């Protein structure tokens, strides 16, 4: 969002950008993800969900930058400018698409709440993979503050991240 000019010509700060949970489950801080790329915020700040089901939804209106062929992740460019990576599980790229079904293609414009990916959570876990699902803001440096709302059960569509310019 872009700030507005007041009657006196001063720039009024734009409200925060809110992103929704991509999946139902327990919202947790990124530090709980047992992969340093996420847990140490190497790719950016965000949060994660321990999923209770196997459907991933768009956290906001966005364009699909990259729908990974393996189905384990999707990269979005939010209409607000946020660069979002949703990654299903840890090391699940090794499954080569097994247990994943992608419902979007590169370049698609998606609306908040639109189904992006389905996955078989139980089958993935049975193969020994952690299904925790990080949602990371890859351009975190563009924001002065990123606030994660964690520590509770969430439904896809519930607010879990606020980004402040």
Distance CA 161, CA 21 (A): 8
Residue 8 in any domain: the answer is no
Prediction pTM value: 0.91
Name the 3-class secondary structure at 94: helix
Residue 11 in any domain: the answer is no
Residue 123 in any domain: the answer is yes
Number of structural domains, the chain? 1
Q: Which of 21, 7, 96, 15 is nearest to 57 (CA)?
A: 21
| Average pLDDT over every residue of 2-6 | 41
Residue 2 in any domain: the answer is no
Residue 13 in any domain: the answer is no
Q: CB-based contacts of 98: which residues, under 8 Å, 6+ apart? A: none
Residue 164 in any domain: the answer is no
pLDDT tens-digit profile of 116-129? 999 999 999 999 99
Residue 14 in any domain: the answer is no
Residues of the domain holding 100: 20-155
Name the 3-class secondary structure at 109: strand
Any idea which residues carry the catalytic annotation? 87
For residue 15, what pLDDT is reported?
Answer: 66
Residue 160 in any domain: the answer is no
pLDDT bracket for residue 23 (50, 70, 90): very high
pLDDT tens-digit profile of 125-145? 999 999 999 999 999 999 999
Q: Could you tell me the CATH number of the domain that includes residue 126?
A: 2.70.70.10
């Amino acid at each position: 969002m872009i700030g507005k000019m007041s009657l006196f010509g001063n720039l009024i700060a734009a409200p925060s950008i809110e992103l929704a949970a991509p999946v139902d489950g327990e919202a947790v801080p990124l530090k709980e993800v047992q992969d340093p790329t996420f847990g140490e915020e190497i790719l950016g700040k965000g949060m994660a969900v321990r999923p209770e089901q196997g459907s991933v939804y768009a956290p906001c209106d966005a364009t699909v930058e990259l729908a990974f062929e393996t189905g384990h992740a999707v990269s979005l460019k939010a209409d607000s400018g946020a660069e979002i990576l949703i990654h299903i599980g840890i090391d699940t790229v090794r499954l080569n698409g097994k247990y994943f079904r992608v419902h979007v293609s590169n370049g698609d414009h998606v609306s908040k709440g639109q189904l992006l990916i389905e996955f078989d959570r139980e089958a993935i876990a049975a193969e020994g993979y952690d299904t925790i699902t990080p949602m990371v803001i890859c351009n975190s440096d563009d924001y002065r503050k990123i606030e994660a709302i964690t520590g509770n059960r969430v439904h896809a569509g519930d607010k879990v991240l606020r980004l402040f310019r």
